[in-house]
Amino acid sequence: MKMLEANIEGLALDMTTNTPVVVLSPKEIDKVLPIWIGHAEAWAIAMELSGVDSNRPMTHDLLKRVIETLGATVEKIEITELKEQTFYALIHVMTENGEHQIDARPSDSLALALKTKATIFVNEELFNQREGESSAETPEMPTDPESLRERLRKINPEDFGKYSL
C-alpha cells in the first residue's frame, strides 16, 4: 500500500450527526479525507492546532510523557484502512529494541502525532474511495477540497464552538 504524507487541514462539526470531523489533506494530490471523531479527541486536536496548553495533562499529553520517559519516540502515524465504516491507524514507536507498531484509533493517533511532531501518513486508497461508500455513522462527504469547503461553508460558524476550519 502506498502511504501519502498528509496534514490536518482543519476541524469541523458535522451538523447532521453533531460529530466533529478532522479533515486530512495529502501533500501529493488535491483531495481530502474527512474522518468523524469523538469530541474529546477533537478537543485535544483543536488545542494542539491552536497552541493552547491545558492546565493538567490530557490523555495524549500523558501518553507522550510515558513514551518519552521510557526512552522511546513516536516516529510516525499511519491511517491504514477503512473496514465496516471504521478507520484504523498505527502508531510507530521507536525504542532501543527497534520499531513497534501499535494499533490505535486515528483520532488518538492524530492527537499524539501533533503532540510529538510525528509525521502523518494516510493510505492513498482512502483518498480514492468513491462517494457513497459510507454509512449513517459516516455520512457521505465529498473527497475533493472545494466540494468539502462548500459543504462546510453552509454551516453556521456559531455551530463550530471551539473548532475552526
Q: Per residue in 23-55, pLDDT tens? A: 999 998 889 999 999 999 999 999 999 998 888
Tell me which of 154 and 79 has the higher pLDDT: 79
Q: Which residues contact residue 35 at a Cβ distance below 8 angstroms, ignoring those fewer than 6 apart?
A: 21, 22, 23, 24, 79, 87, 106, 107
Tell me which of 45 and 140 has the higher pLDDT: 45
Tell me which of 114 and 156 has the higher pLDDT: 114
Judge whether 137 lies within some domain: no
Quote the pTM value: 0.78
The yes-or-no verdict on residue 162 having pLDDT over 60 is: no
d(CA 147, CA 149): 5
Supply the DSSP string of 82-139, one letter for each residue.
EETTEEEEEEEEEETTEEEEEEE-HHHHHHHHHHHTPEEEEEHHHHTPPTT---SSS-
Mean of pLDDT values over 116-145 = 69
Question: How far are the Cα atoms of 8, 46, 58, 66, 112 from residue 54, in angstroms, in the given order?
Answer: 21, 12, 7, 17, 15
Predicted local distance difference test score (pLDDT) of residue 76: 98
**CATH number reported for the structural domain that contains residue 105 in this entry:** 3.10.690.10
Say how many domains are in the chain: 1
Judge whether 134 lies within some domain: no
* Confidence class for position 160, pLDDT limits 50, 70, 90: very low
Three cell numbers at 87?
A: 478507520
Which residue segment(s) compose the domain that 33 sits in?
3-129+143-160
The yes-or-no verdict on residue 163 having pLDDT over 90 is: no
Judge whether 56 lies within some domain: yes
The yes-or-no verdict on residue 79 having pLDDT over 60 is: yes
Judge whether 165 lies within some domain: no
Judge whether 135 lies within some domain: no
C-alpha triplet 81, 46, 111: angle, nearest 5°: 40
Three cell numbers at 64?
A: 507522550
Give me the half-sphere count of Cα atoms (radius 13 Å) on the Cβ side of residue 16.
12
d(CA 27, CA 52): 26
Judge whether 73 lies within some domain: yes
Predicted local distance difference test score (pLDDT) of residue 81: 96
